[in-house]
Structure 1
Amino acid sequence: MKFLTCLITLLVGTLAFGQMGSFNLGGRSAGMAGASLTFGDEYSLFNNIGGLGRMENHAAFAAYQNRYGVSEFQVVGAGAIYTAGIGNAGVGFYKFGDDIYSEQRIHLAFGNKIQMVSLGVGLDLLQYNVSTVGTSRALAIQFGGIAEITPQLRFGAHIFNLNQAAINSETGEKAPTVMKAGISFLPSEELILNAEIEKDLDFDEVFKAGIEYQIIENVYVRTGISTESFLGAFGVGFHPKNLKFDYAFSNDSRLGSIHEISVAYSFQ
């Protein structure tokens, strides 16, 4: 029975997100179907390390995902960012799965902003655990950047597992290598339009598009779509003063619904 559960978990995990290669975190990103590559917020630590240099204050954050109503597929993540004159540093933790099958990540990162360009680099300790097989670990490098082309247009790019780290030295199996590129158009202070493309070396391209609109002060609504498989998303955010509360609901056409809630606090 455990073997069957493990097998199902592995298959669904692969179909859903390819976990360790592309695992956007935070209700803001989830509400836009993951189209968050050009954001320079707390969750840049997970979504695009290039946005880390755009942070101006220390911050701490946490997020929880309930996927498809199955407790074995839940995701938890948390992190902290320290800002300084020479650059910003961050540390994060991410976990998917349970005792039978799990994927974990400990993440160290550094980012800086030079004029209109923000760059970041990160080192990730990846751990895969299958109760019937054992545990494998790998060190992966990621790199990303965001460029403000004009006040209304931003471009972002990111690559995860730049060094193509091997999970199993005997078989040569490697952790996923994922590349992303995208743009943001800001026609007004209240509206953001995002579009991006994501490519895992082992899978087809994924296209994402999302919209965020500030309806009143401190209150945001979001929506987005993603392909492979088709996913539609909706989200809301409430950002009073230094706090950020975000919630997102999305529905995968093959696997079902996902709920995500996240909270962040900024230390000025």
Structure 2
Amino acid sequence: MKQITCLITLLVCFAIQAQTGSFNLGGRSAGMAGASLTLGDEYSLFNNIGGLGRVEDHSAFAAYQNRYGVSEFQVVGAGAVYSTGIGNAGVGFYKFGDDLYSEQRLHLAFGNKIQMVSLGVGLDLLQYNVSTVGTNRAMAIQFGGVAEITPQLRFGAHIFNLNQAEINSETGEKAPTVMKAGISFLPSEELIINAEVEKDLDFDEVFKAGIEYQIIESVYLRTGISTEPFLGAFGVGFHPKNLKFDYAFSNDSRLGSIHEISVAYSFQ
């Protein structure tokens, strides 16, 4: 009984913190502590749709995340990107939690690259469910972009819930609005150094920094840190031909370890 009470208390506390509007997904992003704002891959559908226009092929992907060794805290997500001559269209699904508390997100997005600038816009159906309260839904708009300032320097920006969507019309509670900005420095083809800041209107700023290094063909090592709370991360990636396998381990200074594994397949 004591274990169940502790679990319910932890779930409620985590649920309050989880509703941040940050839906980062993928082992590549997690391995760099979420510092993935300027990357242009299929997981841009979740991390910054501004990078969606940089995706060159059709792709499908899925990810699983277990937080703190508690099954009720698991995250699952999946999506697909379809590349056309006028831009890239994407659809994705994200779920956190269980029957006691859960967050779900159905995501539609479109991105395009114009010369050195990639832009994306998305529409999200958000659903929050608390077993003792009920289910609330909201429609949120997001917008993002990535600009290649020089071959070695990129700048990215993203805003989630641009329209300030309400979750509950009776209480006036709104879905989180989150803004991000960051840069990438690419001193060589094998090395990426990322730094960014994330600001939820209701919380303090979060600073993130991450590094990715290609040690040999198809094999990548990653590490990163973030604040609020302090989190250290490490990850590896194996990308043979059209397949991508990524794993990340991170440690939250307040609650413990997080494991994430993801897979993606690209096809022309």
What's the TM-score once normalised by structure 2's chain length? Answer: 0.97
Give secondary structure in 2 for the equivalent of 1:21: coil
Which residue of structure 1 lines up, in the alignment, with residue 147 of structure 2?
Answer: 147
CA shift, 1:14, in A, is 3.4
Separation in 1 of the partners of 2:96 and 2:130? 12
Structure 1 residues 3 and 253: alpha-carbon distance in aligned structure 2, compared to 1, 3 A threshold? closer
Which residue of structure 2 lines up, in the alignment, with residue 91 of structure 1?
Answer: 91
Correspondent of 1:9 among 2, 8, 11: 11
- Match for 2:13: what amino acid? L
Query: Structure 2 unaligned runs (5+)?
Result: none
Greater Cα offset, 2-11 or 27-36? 2-11
Which residue of structure 2 lines up, in the alignment, with residue 23 of structure 1?
Answer: 23
What are the superposed Cα offsets for residues 97-141 of structure 1, whole Å, 9 maximum, x if unpaired?
Answer: 001110000000000010000000000000001111110000000
Give secondary structure in 2 for the equivalent of 1:167: strand
What are the superposed Cα offsets for residues 193-238 of structure 1, whole Å, 9 maximum, x if unpaired?
Answer: 0000000000000000000000000000000000000000000000
CA shift, 1:6, in A, is 4.7
How many pairs align? 266
Identity of aligned residues (%): 87
Separation in 2 of the partners of 1:160 and 1:63? 21
Aligned ranges 1:9-88 → 2 under 5 Å: 9-15=11-17, 18-19=18-19, 21-88=21-88
- Match for 1:130: what amino acid? V
Which residue of structure 2 lines up, in the alignment, with residue 177 of structure 1?
Answer: 177
Which residue of structure 2 lines up, in the alignment, with residue 102 of structure 1?
Answer: 102
8 Å CA contact 2:20, 2:178 repeated in 1 = no
Structure 1 residues 145 and 112: alpha-carbon distance in aligned structure 2, compared to 1, 3 A threshold? same
Which residue of structure 2 lines up, in the alignment, with residue 225 of structure 1?
Answer: 225
8 Å CA contact 1:3, 1:132 repeated in 2 = no
Are 1:244 and 2:250 an aligned pair?
A: no
Which residue of structure 2 lines up, in the alignment, with residue 138 of structure 1?
Answer: 138
Structure 1 residues 19 and 241: alpha-carbon distance in aligned structure 2, compared to 1, 3 A threshold? farther
Separation in 2 of the partners of 1:3 and 1:140? 34
8 Å CA contact 1:6, 1:130 repeated in 2 = no
Which residue of structure 2 lines up, in the alignment, with residue 186 of structure 1?
Answer: 186
CA shift, 1:5, in A, is 4.8
Query: Structure 1 unaligned runs (5+)?
Result: none
- Give the alignment's Cα RMSD to 1 decimal: 1.3
Structure 1 runs of 4+ with >4 Å offset: 1-7
CA shift, 1:4, in A, is 7.2
Separation in 2 of the partners of 1:220 and 1:10? 37
- Match for 1:10: what amino acid? V
